[in-house]
Amino acid sequence: MVTSTETRTDTGIAVNGPAVDRQDEILTPDALAFVAALHRAFAPRRQELLQLRQERRVKIANGVDPGFLPETQAVREDFSWSVATLAPGLEDRRVEITGPCDRKMTINALNSGAKCWMADLEDSSTPNWHNVIDSQVNLRDAIERRIDFTSEQGKEYQLKGETLTDLPTIIVRPRGWHLAELHVRVDGVPVAGSLVDFGLHFFHNARRLIELGRGPYFYLPKLESHLEARLWNDVFVMAQDLLGIPQGTIRATVLIETITAAFEMEEILYELRHHSSGLNAGRWDYIFSVIKNFRERGPRFVLPDRDQVTMTAPFMRAYTELLVRTCHRRSASAIGGMAAFIPSRKDPEANAIALEKVRADKTREADDGFDGSWVAHPDLVPVAMAVFDETLGGLPNQIEKQREDVVPNAAALLDVAATPGEITEAGIRKNLEVGVRYIESWLRGNGAAAINNLMEDAATAEISRSQIWQWINAEATTGDGRTVTHGWVERLLKDEFDRMERFEGDRFDDALSVFAECALGEAYPTFLTIPAYTRFLANGD
């Protein structure tokens, strides 16, 4: 039994966190030794790559635009290579539902009728110690079909079907390379959250998934270069060797959600080609990445209100169409972006309008050649399914749609200035409200927050605080001619904060502190979850 604080001096592995129910099933000596082996092999290279990220950002801030890499031109122009064949359960991905791995959401996602479930240990999951362990417990229980849940109101939740293959294919998204897991240290050094999440799931479930007709499948978030994809591939090779699992069993879909990765899509597929199952258009993080990287580059890269930055903006069209072209020329799946709307049964008129927007969004993706798309709520599964059913008919995907009409264009990917729209006071206020309310929810352990009928996660909160920071520092002006100043935003923030309904046990004061630091401070934290985690979660949560 791993206690709330345990140091294993004989192995160099230290676990320090509050006791979580059934943690002894997850934190076994062999599982921890497996994670430690991955850490010792790859921690130095991870640190080097994180440093390379920072160096690249400095270059961009100093006026050097990212572009297609000349040193990897041969990879892009070599038509002889393709990714691995589609693995069992990944042939048809027309609708994927996403969400954290708490017990109720796990059951609802697996009963949703979607083709796949992106089991999220990243942006929609607060990485407090309880959630880290509980997610692993729930994944194991779901795979073994021993998961159930009873709500406080007495409603019972159980899995449908008879076998694992009757349910959506499980694809686990570990944390990004940037986040450390401060509750697990090896030789005194915190282990990357990505290796904890990947390692524990792979160690406990890989063989069982294979036996049940599926496999260990992953979504890889926040990659900024093909070198980071190479690191993941090396992790996969070592992990399979350590457990005696055949090479190429793992499959990984990479989220293209950073502007630098958009210029390296082919190289990312190439590095992971023996383990690749495609790319995903992570739209919200992509917008965040554009703002973050170009936040000090002046009006050319200032976007309008978040709600006005749609998938039809020219720079977003260039990105998504290039993603489809890149995937299909390498026999990989192209998965579209998130529909974050949360239906409300109390407002059928608003639902009808929102569902029509979802339908139009998914129709655009299907027409562009995407093989599937994401939804955040079970009620959206039939809407997206109907669109892709009409496009695909009896086919599992449309990888044969090559999109040879799309020509890679660096200028188009960076044409942020062509985005229509304007900055408004209402948009500023919405960013302030969503940012604070989301962080408050995150600090209470809920990383998937329903706010104004949208499922907000860390990526959308990042957009909210980053736009505020950029607008202030760029001295941007609203559509009615007002300059966005620090003082004005501070007054609006106080006004919005005073409107928020407080309750016992809320974390609004802490949330306000984090948001103010990340949106109004002189320095710009690379990710808001890093100060939020180190200040509020690592000590006792």
Rounded to an integer, what distance in angstroms lies between the CA atom of residue 167 and that of residue 253? Answer: 19
Q: How far is CA 385 from CA 338, 376, 392, in A?
A: 14, 13, 10
Catalytic annotation present for 457 = yes
């209470």: which residue's tokens? Answer: 444
Asked if 262 and 322 touch (Cβ cutoff 8 Å), the reply is: yes
Q: Phi, psi (5° rounding) for residue 376?
A: -105, -10
489-492, Cβ contacts within 8 angstroms, sequence gap of 24 or more: 489/428, 489/432, 489/519, 489/520, 490/520, 492/425, 492/428, 492/429, 492/432
């559509």: which residue's tokens? Answer: 479
Instruction: State the catalytic residue, choosing from 53, 93, 103, 173.
Output: 173
Asked if 307 and 430 touch (Cβ cutoff 8 Å), the reply is: yes
Instruction: State the catalytic residue, choosing from 94, 457, 465, 541.
Output: 457
Catalytic annotation present for 437 = no
Asked if 280 and 320 touch (Cβ cutoff 8 Å), the reply is: no
Distance of CA 417 to the CA centre of its chain: 26
Helix (H, G, I), strand (E, B) or coil at 243: helix
Q: What is the DSSP string of 343-394?
A: --TT-HHHHHHHHHHHHHHHHHHHHHT-SEEEESSGGGHHHHHHHHHHHHTT
279 forms bridges with which residues in the sheet?
254, 334
119 forms bridges with which residues in the sheet?
99, 172
Q: What is the DSSP letter of 299?
A: G
Rounded to an integer, what distance in angstroms lies between the CA atom of residue 45 and that of residue 229? Answer: 12
- Token pair, residue 241, equals 């060797």
Q: How far is CA 242 from CA 30, 190, 252, in A?
A: 11, 22, 18
Asked if 477 and 423 touch (Cβ cutoff 8 Å), the reply is: yes
Contacting residues for 82 by C-beta, under 8 A, at least 6 apart: 273, 330, 331, 332
Of 76, 64, 69, which Cα lies nearest the Cα of 407? 76
Amino acid at 407: V
Of 170, 202, 234, 177, which Cα lies nearest the Cα of 35? 202
Other Cβ atoms closer than 10 A to 241 = 11
Beta-sheet pairing, 95-100 with 189-192:
unpaired
Helices vs. strands in the chain: H and E counts, helices first: 19, 16
6-9, Cβ contacts within 8 angstroms, sequence gap of 24 or more: 8/32
Active site residues: 173, 457
